[in-house]
Copies of this chain bind each other. A is one copy, B any other.
């Protein structure tokens, strides 16, 4: 069992105390201590003492057989909800930015859409971050160069244009008709999180 657990992603363990082998309670205690894994205990014995021991051991919930499957589902949902809040205490904080269906994680340097990762080079990442942090306002090539590299302006520098193009290919539904990263002719670029037509 330990081997299985170490090789797989497990969200929650439902422990049947009536199963043979290592004592269910000690398994549970170990799982909780080492991996902080959510646990629901099933038991045929409905005696109160057992239930109390199970909960004190650290299980998150306790159900006695026979049980209603719908109740088990409800309890699983309840435990997982609590648990996800534990895993991502700071998910809602500053280091995750979103636009349209995309998510940019500033800590991981990772862009994803529908849970699927989209690889960005470090230049693309930097540019996207700047656009997200200054959305809905026109950014000139000068200020973009300034923010990305601290450059002074060179009048024939096209590097921003090229990088914008590369970014568009990764985030725009149709790079020809940008909805997030639009050109403001004669001035620069503007980014809008919701994606204008």
Contact = CB atoms under 8 A, between A and B. Distances in A.
Contact of A184 (B34, B35, B71, B109): B109
A153 to B, nearest CB: 18
Interface stretch (A3-11, A15-23, A156-164): A3-11
Interface string A40-63: 000000001001100110111100
B48 A74 contact: no
Main secondary structure of the interface of A (DSSP, over half): mixed
Interface string A129-145: 00000001110000000
A114 B89 CA distance: 27
Given A68-B52, A86-B89, A121-B185, A108 B190 contact: yes
Contacts of A59: 78
A185 B102 contact: no
Contact of A137 (B36, B103, B108): B108
Given A34-B94, A34-B98, A55-B71, 9 more contacts: A35-B98, A36-B85, A52-B68, A59-B78, A82-B82, A82-B83, A107-B138, A108-B137, A123-B186
Contacts of A7: 100-101
A138 B108 CA distance: 6
Contact of A136 (B55, B77, B108): B108
Given A60-B82, A100-B7, A185-B122, A52 B71 contact: yes
7 contacts: A7-B100, A48-B71, A61-B78, A107-B136, A108-B136, A109-B138, A122-B184
A78 B55 contact: yes
Contacts of A35: 98
A81 interface: yes
